[in-house]
Structure 1
Amino acid sequence: MSQLTLTYFDFNGGRGEPARLALCLGGISFEDKRFAFPEFAEVRKSTPFGQVPTLHVDGVQITQSDAITRYVGKLAGLYPTDTYQALLCDEVLGAVEDITIKLAATFGLTGDALKDARTAFVAGPLTVYLRWLQSQLQAHGGQYFADNRLTVADLKVFGYVRGLGSGNLDHVPTDVVEQVAPLLNAHMRRVGETPAIAQYYARLAG
């Protein structure tokens, strides 16, 4: 087995979380290299594009969060082998990445500028993407996004929905998912109750 080191911020969420969860679910040994936000200025100097997460595989640095998520998903048996189901999985990964980028564009704003940008984000793009994700979930059986089982697509949506309800995003109502796409909240709770995931967060909290 390759030596794996995943480098990402020291919080539970964001682009690194699906890979962390996949590795945990797969029982795959890896170094969970976390750093505090003030350290990012130094950490980013060692990355190709000044961003994280990165994954070192036997010392070779890999960038791009969805590529990392797919790779560890394959290692953990959480990525479809059927090409069409893999396409459905990738579609969801890409959609969540798109809306993550749109939210990220509001970071760094303050005061009324932040409030206006976040309000527009919630009313516009976020609502569109959440409703689409809910429709995809319904179209594929209502439990999972692809392959009739838990995949990294579910882990990515889980992390994003969990973050929206965390209260850590100013001017994003914590009940926005419940109001716009309640099936995604039910999905988040179901994924979070997966024993290995519940135990993972319990360990971190302890």
Structure 2
Amino acid sequence: MAPKYKLTYFNLRGIGEPIRFLFLYGGIDFEDIRIELEDWPKVKESTPYGKLPYLEIDGKRITQAAAIARYVAKLVGLVGKDDLEDLEIDSVVDTIVDLNNVLREYYFEKDEAIKQKKKEIAVKETVPQFLSKLDAKLKENGGYFVGGKLTWADVYFASFHETINDMVGDNVVGKYPHLQALADKVQAFPAFKAWIAKRPITCP
């Protein structure tokens, strides 16, 4: 009997969306459980380590988004051909996670003056630095991040690029042709295209 998967995350795209994409890529059924932000204080203590997302596998709950995504990537065959490629994939994903952390630090800042200062640094310095290097890596590897073929690093970015655009504005990913081409290519997969058309409309 196939395991039963339940993914619990906020009613956002965020760091839960790459996991959803990976399940969809493999055609693996999962329950998409969404927590509203206003309900989080009531739910937090019942979660592993007080964090989301977590994945429940036949009742066993596991947390940490990148670890969950890596697990699902193994299930659906989107890992590297060897340990070195897996290391490269992890490096790319962790870089995207670092960028996400920078963006969310200012995006959810409540003090408007501090928020604008953080945003200015992120938009003028941090985002261009990250995206230019990621774009160059795609150019070097035939349009994919690792090994000249689709891996979960590519799916991770493609599921996340709209969040970057939403947080930064001005269709920033579109300024980097290899990143935009990757996002377009991956999101054209039938499973992803269907999901994007029907998924809940949420903030990043």
TM-score w.r.t. the length of structure 1 is 0.89
Please state if 1:113 is matched with 2:118: no
Equivalent residues in 2 for 1:58-77, closer than 5 Å = 58-77=58-77
1:16 aligns with 2:16: yes
User: Greater shift after overlay, 149-158 or 63-72?
Assistant: 149-158
Shift of 1:128: 0.9
Alignment: residue pair count:
199
Residues 7 and 55 of structure 1 are in contact (CA less than 8 Å); yes or no, is this contact kept in structure 2?
yes
Question: 1:36 matched to which residue of 2?
Answer: 36
Find the aligned partners of 1:173 and 1:29 in 2 and give their Cα distance: 33
Contact 1:14 1:159 in 2 (8 A): no
1:109–1:2 distance in 2 versus 1, CA, 3 Å: same
Unaligned runs of 5+ in 1: none
Structure 2 distance, partners of 1:200, 1:149, is: 23
Letter in 2 for 1:126: V
Report the alpha carbon displacement of residue 53 of structure 1 after superposing the two structures with TM. 0.8
What residue in structure 1 maps to residue 130 of structure 2? 129
Question: What whole-Å deviation, never above 9, does each CA across 1:71-112 have from its counterpart, x for those lacking one?
Answer: 011111122242222122111111011111122222223322
- TM superposition outliers: structure 1 runs of 4+ over 6 Å: none
Aligned to 2:50: 50
Equivalence for 2:84:
84
1:186 aligned partner: 181
Q: Note the C-alpha offset of 1:54.
A: 0.5
CA RMSD after TM alignment: 1.8
Partner of 1:97: 97
Gaps of 5+ in 2: none
Corresponding residue of 1:176: 172
Q: 1:203 to 1:160 in 2, by over 3 A?
A: closer
Report how far residue 131 of structure 1 moved. Answer: 0.9
TM-superposed CA distance for 1:205, in Å, is 6.2
Partner Cα separation in structure 1 for residue 35 and residue 68 of structure 2: 18
Deviations 1:103-135 (A, max 9, x none): 222222332221121011111221111111111
User: 1:162 touches 1:188 (CA, 8 Å); kept in 2?
Assistant: no
Q: TM-score, normalised by structure 2?
A: 0.89
Q: Kindly state the Cα deviation for residue 57 of structure 1 after the two structures are TM-superposed.
A: 1.3
- 1:159 is matched by which residue type in structure 2? S
Counterpart Cα distance in 2 of 1:203 and 1:176: 25
Alpha carbons 1:79, 1:152 under 8 Å: kept: yes
Q: CA deviation at 1:148?
A: 2.8
Which aligned pairs between 1:139-158 and structure 2 lie closer than 5 A? 139-142=140-143, 144-158=144-158
- C-alpha spacing 1:99/1:27, structure 2 compared with 1 (3 Å): same
1:198 aligned partner: 193
Q: AA paired with 1:96?
A: I
The change in CA–CA distance for 1:200 and 1:36 in structure 2 (over 3 A counts) is same
8 Å contact from structure 1 (residues 22, 72) kept in 2: yes
In the alignment, the residues of structure 1 paired with residue 42 and residue 140 of structure 2 have an alpha-carbon distance, to the nearest angstrom, of 44
Greater per-residue helix proportion: 2
Preserved contact between residue 9 and residue 35 of structure 2 (Cα < 8 Å) = yes
